[in-house]
Amino acid sequence: MVWRLDRLGRSLKDLIEMVETLSNRGIELQSLTEAIATDSSSGKLIFHAHIENDWI
């Protein structure tokens, strides 16, 4: 659980790698501010959409 996604990684690449590492270990991510949780298919979709939105 994190307050905001930008608190988890220093860069977009770091954030994506951290989420993949956590997922590979069976740990799901929950961001309180962005209301994102990767424990469901829809949560993963929202996470990736949020990442793409920040990337553009």
Q: What is the pLDDT of residues 1-49, one digit of tens each?
A: 888 887 887 888 888 888 889 989 999 989 888 888 888 888 888 888 8
Query: 10-17 — which CB contacts under 8 Å span 24+ positions?
Result: 12/51, 12/54, 12/55, 15/51, 16/51
pTM exceeding the 0.75 threshold for the entire prediction: no
What pLDDT sits at residue 56?
Answer: 53
8 Å CB contact between 22 and 9: no
According to DSSP, residue 43 is labeled: H
What pLDDT sits at residue 25?
Answer: 95
What pLDDT sits at residue 26?
Answer: 93
What pLDDT sits at residue 45?
Answer: 87
